[in-house]
């Protein structure tokens, strides 16, 4: 996870020093980037959900590893929503209601941070308790900002 963390850090640094559009060669790359980060997050979040909901056996080490990827991925998509990158599944509200969109990003980052703490606690009850609020933060953003 060190390489992922380094990647996240590099992305965060880039986000603070470059205009968002300048980080990608073309708008399609920004769309692909944000969708890729969200897709990877959903895969690992789904594995946590399977454990939290009893569809897969609880495995503390796997839960922590999955939660680490989720928490790392939660930081990445936002750099891919710069000006001029409209499209994909993103509604126009992403750009029209930028402060509200940012609140949802911050909420997801906070909830996935708590999910990582819960997963590292090593008991399924902690995971179950934090899975719902995290999923709710995914859904709340999708309801306003994602098409389909
Ligand atoms: C997932 C996934 C989402 C969220 C959302 C939660 O596993 O891919 O987009 O959870 O369905 O409501």
CB of residue 132 inside a 6 A radius of ligand 1: no
Name the residue with the closest Cα to ligand 1, atom 8.
42
pLDDT of 16 higher than 90 = no
pLDDT in tens, 64-77: 999 999 999 999 99
Q: What separation in Å is there between the alpha carbon of 41 and the centre of ligand 1?
A: 9
**DSSP labels, 78-137:** GGGG-TT---TTB-THHHHTHHHHHHHHHHHHHHHHHHHHHHHHT-HHHHHHHHHHHHHH
Please, are residues 86 and 95 in contact by the beta-carbon 8 Å criterion? yes
What is this structure's pTM? Answer: 0.86
- For 21, the token pair is 């559009």
Higher pLDDT, 9 or 84: 84
Confidence of residue 112 (pLDDT cuts 50, 70, 90): very high
pLDDT of 13 higher than 80 = no
Q: What separation in Å is there between the alpha carbon of 17 and the centre of ligand 1?
A: 31
In the CATH scheme, what architecture does the domain 2-18+27-145 have? Up-down Bundle (1.20)
Higher pLDDT, 95 or 14: 95
Q: Please report how the helices 98-121 and 60-73 are oriented relative to each other, as an axis angle in degrees rounded to 10.
A: 160
Give mean pLDDT, residues 94-117. Answer: 98
> Mean pLDDT across the chain, nearest whole number?
91
Confidence of residue 148 (pLDDT cuts 50, 70, 90): confident
- For 134, the token pair is 């995290």
pLDDT of 146 higher than 60 = yes
> What does the alpha-carbon distance between residue 49 and residue 28 come to, in Å, rounded to a whole number?
31
Name the residue with the closest Cα to ligand 1, atom 10.
135
Give residue limits of the domains in the chain: 2-18+27-145
Percent residues over pLDDT 90 in the chain:
84
Question: How far does Cα 135 stand from its chain's mean position?
Answer: 11
Name the residue with the closest Cα to ligand 1, atom 6.
135
CB of residue 42 inside a 6 A radius of ligand 1: yes
Q: What separation in Å is there between the alpha carbon of 18 and the centre of ligand 1?
A: 30
């Amino acid at each position: 996870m060190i390489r992922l963390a380094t990647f996240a850090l590099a992305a965060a640094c880039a986000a603070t020093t470059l205009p968002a559009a300048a980080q990608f060669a073309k708008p399609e790359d920004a769309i692909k980037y944000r969708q890729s980060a969200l897709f990877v997050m959903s895969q690992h979040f789904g594995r946590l959900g399977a454990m939290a909901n009893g569809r897969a056996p609880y495995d503390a080490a796997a839960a922590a590893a999955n939660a680490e990827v989720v928490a790392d991925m939660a930081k990445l998509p936002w750099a891919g929503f710069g000006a001029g990158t409209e499209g994909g599944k993103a509604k126009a509200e992403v750009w029209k209601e930028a402060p509200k969109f940012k609140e949802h990003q911050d909420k997801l980052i906070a909830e996935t941070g708590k999910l990582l703490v819960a997963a590292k606690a090593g008991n399924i009850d902690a995971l179950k308790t934090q899975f719902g609020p995290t999923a709710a933060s995914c859904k709340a953003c999708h309801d306003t900002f994602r098409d389909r």
